[in-house]
Structure formats: C-alpha cells, structure tokens
Amino acid sequence: MARRKILVAMMMHETNTFSPVPTPLTSFRPLSGPAAVQEFQDTNTQLGGFLHAARETGAEIVVPLAAGAHPSGYVERAAYEDMCEAIVGGISKGCDAAFLALHGAMVAEHVDDGEGELLRRIRAVAPHLPLAVGLDFHAHMTAPMVGHATVLAGYRTYPHIDMGETAQRAARTLVRTMNGEVEPVMVWGWLPMMTSTLVHAPSRQPMKDVMDMAIGAESSGAVLNASVFGGFPHADIPHLSCSAVIVCDRRGGRARSPTRGRWGKGPSSSWTTATTPPRAGRRT
C-alpha cells in the first residue's frame, strides 16, 4: 500500500462580535511546515493531537497552516481569506485525508459561519476527501459544518483540558473510515438557547447529565462519536444555539438525542429538530 498523505491544519478563533477590537492575521501568529510541527507536536492542543494521530498511521504529514488567536472581535476579511486560501490550496495539491483543528465560533467581517464556509470551499476542490474536524465546546453548529465534514468531535470539558484527546477521537474514527472498518454518517440537533459560558460547563447540571450521556454512548461503542456543544453567547449571529452531533456507523445503529429528554423537550427518540436552524450567511 502506498504511504498516505494527511494534511493537518489549524484555524481557530472564538469571535466576540460585541468586541471593538478587530482580529487581523498577525493576531493568529500563523505558522506552516516544519515550524508548525515543531511548535505543536506533543502538546495538549488539537493540532498536537492530530499530529500524534497522523504519525501513528505512518503517513506523510503536511501542515499548510497553524493559526490561532485569542478571543476578540470580527476576524478581518483579509485574514480570513488568507487562512482559507492556505488550507484549501494545500488540499488542492492532493492528499488522502485532512485533519482540521477548528473552533466553531469564528465570525469574519463578511462571513457569519467561518468554519462552515471553510469546509464548503474545501468540498469545492475535494468533494470526496475524508475530513475530520475537531471543535471547541463553545462551537455554534451549522448545517454546512455537519454537511461538509466526514467526522466531527468536540471538547468535553470547560475549562478545556481535553483538546489533544478530542482531536485523537475524531482522527481515530476517520482512520477507521479510510481503512474500510466503518462508514460514518452524522445526525445533529439544535436548540435555540443562549446559555452563559459560566453556567453551562459540562461539570455542572443540567449540562453534566447531557455530556455524560454523550460520553457513555461513545465509550460503549454504541456510536462512533458523540459531542455536545454549549455555544458561545457573545456573538450576534443567527445560528447561536446549544447543539449536539452524533457520528454513527451507517451500517448499523440509530442515534438517540442526548438532550431532548434531559431538557424537557420530549421523550428520548431518534434525533429530530422541532426548529429548523437559521442559515448562517455572508455579511455584506
């Protein structure tokens, strides 16, 4: 078997749209290639976890971008376009899979759903590429994110201590997919709730029961991955919400909602949403 080539990249920002402080490219301290690997290998970060997983497969690793900025205002248009171009350009050169360390709450000056738009652009050049995405617990889930990724997994802790583990959870499922062991399909749900980051921590109720249910489902092997997202309330965007994403093997099993019964939204059942999530869009 020919040696696989895995692209690993990071583009992370938690955007507070109420902040007057813009976020230029320099705030992301972008790295690439060996410099990025040296900076992040063996670290408890998403990128470190993805690098570890890629090395375990024996694959050739390429890193076109490693960029992350502290929470602040809108990501400047030029910064967003430069980062997307680096990742999409790297994928267009050819690879067997991509591991992406994203946040899930990036908002640019011209795009409400920074992650969903990046994934849409990737699919435009690589429609069938196996694609694993790691996300922060404070992600805003959108249809483009779920529709364009192969696998999604999110942090289970706040304060966050499982960044590397999250990446490895997503990567393991994608590697199993590439090996023909599983055929992932994702289902997701969305609740129109804006909850405080100081209250909805997975260590506190009611989020604890919901997260424990997701962890139990994944740990038992009932599903491939199960993630719950509290969202990030400091953002004036249409898709702000609490959400969950479950990755199942298409060849067997059903996903069940980790929130509906727990939050009084009806009996536990196959995942459906009573409310259609609003579409994220481009800003003008």
* pLDDT single digits (tens) 87-110: 999 999 999 999 999 999 999 999
Q: How many domains does the chain have?
A: 1
Asked if residue 141 is part of any domain, the answer here is yes
In this prediction, what percent of the chain has a pLDDT beyond 90? 79
The pLDDT-based confidence of 70 (bands split at 50, 70, 90) is: very high
Q: Give the range of the structural domain holding residue 33, as residue numbers without chain letter.
A: 5-182
Asked if residue 123 is part of any domain, the answer here is yes
The pLDDT-based confidence of 253 (bands split at 50, 70, 90) is: low
Q: Look up tokens 């479950």; give the residue.
A: 246
> Please, which residues have CB within 8 angstroms of residue 238's CB and are 6 or more apart in sequence?
112, 278, 279, 280, 281
> Please, which residues have CB within 8 angstroms of residue 100's CB and are 6 or more apart in sequence?
8, 9, 10, 11, 87, 118, 131, 132, 133, 134
Angstrom distance (rounded) from CA 112 to CA 282:
6
Work out the average pLDDT over 250-266. Answer: 55
Could you tell me if 280 and 116 are in contact, meaning their C-beta atoms sit under 8 angstroms apart?
Answer: yes
* Strands 151-154 and 131-135, sheet pairing: parallel
In the predicted structure, residue 27 carries a pLDDT above the cut 80: yes
The pLDDT-based confidence of 266 (bands split at 50, 70, 90) is: very low
pLDDT of amino acid 271: 36
The pLDDT-based confidence of 255 (bands split at 50, 70, 90) is: low
pLDDT of amino acid 219: 95
Which is more confident, 124 or 263?
Answer: 124
Which is more confident, 118 or 267?
Answer: 118
In the predicted structure, residue 258 carries a pLDDT above the cut 60: no
Question: Which of 213, 207, 156, 151 has its CA nearest to residue 184?
Answer: 151
Could you tell me if 228 and 214 are in contact, meaning their C-beta atoms sit under 8 angstroms apart?
Answer: yes
The pLDDT-based confidence of 263 (bands split at 50, 70, 90) is: very low
pLDDT of amino acid 190: 87
CATH code for position 38 = 3.40.50.2300
Cis check for the bond before 159: say yes or no (omega within 30 of 0). Answer: yes
* Beta partners for residue 99, in sequence order: 8, 132
In the predicted structure, residue 186 carries a pLDDT above the cut 60: yes
pLDDT of amino acid 1: 67
The pLDDT-based confidence of 275 (bands split at 50, 70, 90) is: very low
pLDDT of amino acid 73: 98
100: Cα within 13 Å, side-chain hemisphere: 31
R_g of the chain, CA atoms, integer Å = 18
Work out the average pLDDT over 188-199. Answer: 85
In the predicted structure, residue 274 carries a pLDDT above the cut 50: no
Work out the average pLDDT over 1-10. Answer: 92
Q: For all residues of the chain together, what is the average pLDDT?
A: 90
Asked if residue 251 is part of any domain, the answer here is no
In the predicted structure, residue 149 carries a pLDDT above the cut 90: yes
Asked if residue 152 is part of any domain, the answer here is yes
The pLDDT-based confidence of 194 (bands split at 50, 70, 90) is: confident
Asked if residue 76 is part of any domain, the answer here is yes
55: Cα within 13 Å, side-chain hemisphere: 9
Work out the average pLDDT over 182-195. Answer: 90
Asked if residue 262 is part of any domain, the answer here is no
> Please, which residues have CB within 8 angstroms of residue 211's CB and are 6 or more apart in sequence?
156, 202, 228, 258
**Which two tokens mark 255?**
């996903």
Cβ atoms < 10 Å from Cβ of 174: 29
pLDDT of amino acid 117: 98
Q: What DSSP character marks residue 139? A: -
Q: Of 111-120, 175-184, 204-213, which gets the smallest average pLDDT?
A: 204-213
The gap from C-alpha 159 to its chain's centroid, in whole angstroms, comes to 17
User: Looking at the whole model, is its pTM more than 0.85?
Assistant: yes
